[in-house]
Amino acid sequence: MKKYVLVGAALLAVWPLASQSRKERGALYESYNKLGQLLVYIDSYYVDTVDLPGLTEKAVVNMLRQLDPHSTYLSAADVKAANEQLEGHFEGVGIEFAILEDTLTVTVPLAGGPSEAVGVLAGDRIVAVDSLPVAGVGLQNARVLQLLRGPKGTSVALTILRKGSPRLLHFTIVRDKIPIHSLHALYEVQPGTVYIRLGRFAVTSVTEIKDALKKLRRAPQSIILDLRGNSGGVLKTAVELCDQFLDAGRLIVYNEGEHWPKSMDLATGRGMFRNARLLVLIDEHSASASEIVAGAVQDWDRGILMGRRSFGKGLVQQLLSLPDSSQVRLTVARYHTPTGRVIQRPYDAGRTDAYYADLYRRRSHGEMFSRDSIRLPDSLKFYTLINAREVYGGGGIMPDIFLPADTSCHSDYYTRIYHAGLLSQFVTQWMDGERSALHRRYKTFADFDRHFSVDDALFDAFIAYAEAQKIPRDEQGLAVSGHCLRLEMKALMARALWSTSEYFEVLNKQTDPVFLKAVEVINHWEQYEKEVGLR
């Protein structure tokens, strides 16, 4: 089984660790025997029948909670799902789906996947899987995954209702490896400037970026690397991405812990983007591997960081297997940026809820809207390695250019629609009858982006759809959020017709002030380099 260092190389558990003293080993054996004896007593003498495996799992979970906020337990099922995300693939039929009106609906057959190969189309309704009815039975996402995923080479029979077809359609699909893309968007914003949005750090992330770049007409001179909302992933991938930007021999990150010898990762000097201008976008949800990249870029004065203070996760986890194929994600080390900063923000062992509530405290204290509300002690001050700029550790990465959170589109009306998933549901159903016509009318995304807009008739149809779903029309909410709702609808249509990259391309230049500021910074690079102290 593959193991990953999360923020990877494998670490084998040794029982007991050779580095432990005789006294430490004695305490370990004593605790081990104590827990084992307790389970024997419960199993042998307790008044009622006990679910011993379930009780053990609860004990493991509670034990890990006493350590740090990022040491966690994964059941065998959780392990499989986590590995799929890290490895960048799963085995199944290759569709994106939604459950609309209690019916399993294909939103997109994944390009090159087995469903596309046999002729499954977007908008198809799956009414049975292996003769088991799945329409109108209260289907949940977890059950869909259970039915459609399975080992490569196995087959599954789908019964499909297709709009315009007089009869049910039957497909036999042979499951295969299906890629999970960590690259959400890569496109040329303007000649020479490339936007890259990475959703997580998977094993395949850098390969995905390289493959996407091959489709562009020129090598990028400037890069906007968007790590907003990226909560991390594989440490090795963060190092590999940093290596694309840094000169040979420069330290990227180092890790050390009580039982983890200090390890250092250095740039090879063979990166693709060592001479490109680099602007990195981060926010309060950028964590772990994202902070490794941001920290290395900032410490070496390699580019400009923009956005809001990152999450502050500077602990490294190792996946360690237990006898029943479950795992613990155990914190084994702290990572340090090239200047020596530890990015981990403070926490109290056993108080995980309070740790994650810190993001809400940041908002209530005004940090999302004003940099002046952030106070960091001088004891956490460091200096960058080229230009000796002041930077801080102990609580995330502070960007060079602060941008407040954007609330211009927010209203209670928008929030209710968003949380109910109504935009996606409506667009999926509307595309049923319009997909072919849209493809005929707009041969390229550029043509669609330039000429298509959500007109009043279509928007009113959506508002009526929302009313039918118990969200009444709100004129005040529409005045605030109507423009953004229309753009989100257009972006979802672009995604259905092309890919996620086009989805972000629609939204970025219309509703994202951080992106618009990023383009301004790229276009006036020397001015902003001087302002933040890079020259």
Q: List, by residue number, the catalytic residues.
A: 288, 299, 313
> In 3-state terms, what secondary structure has residue 243?
helix
Determine the distance from the C-alpha atom of residue 466 to the mean position of all C-alpha atoms in its chain, rounded to a whole number. 28
- The answer to whether the beta carbons of residues 246 and 296 sit under 8 Å apart is yes
Within 8 A by CB and 6+ apart from 207, the residues are: none
Per-residue tokens: 147: 């039915």
DSSP 201: B
User: Helix 235-243 vs helix 289-299: angle between axes, to the nearest 10 degrees?
Assistant: 30
User: Helix 422-441 vs helix 475-497: angle between axes, to the nearest 10 degrees?
Assistant: 50
DSSP 376-419: --GGGEEE-TTT--EEE-SSSPPPSEE-PPP-TT--HHHHHHHH
> In 3-state terms, what secondary structure has residue 170?
strand
CA atoms within 13 Å, Cβ hemisphere of 166: 0
Taking the chain, what is the end-to-end CA distance rounded to the nearest angstrom?
Answer: 48
User: Helix 412-420 vs helix 422-441: angle between axes, to the nearest 10 degrees?
Assistant: 80
Per-residue burial over 380-392, b if 16 or more Cβ lie within 10 Å, else e, is: eebebbeeebebb
Q: Which of 378, 393, 320 is nearest to 82 (CA)?
A: 320
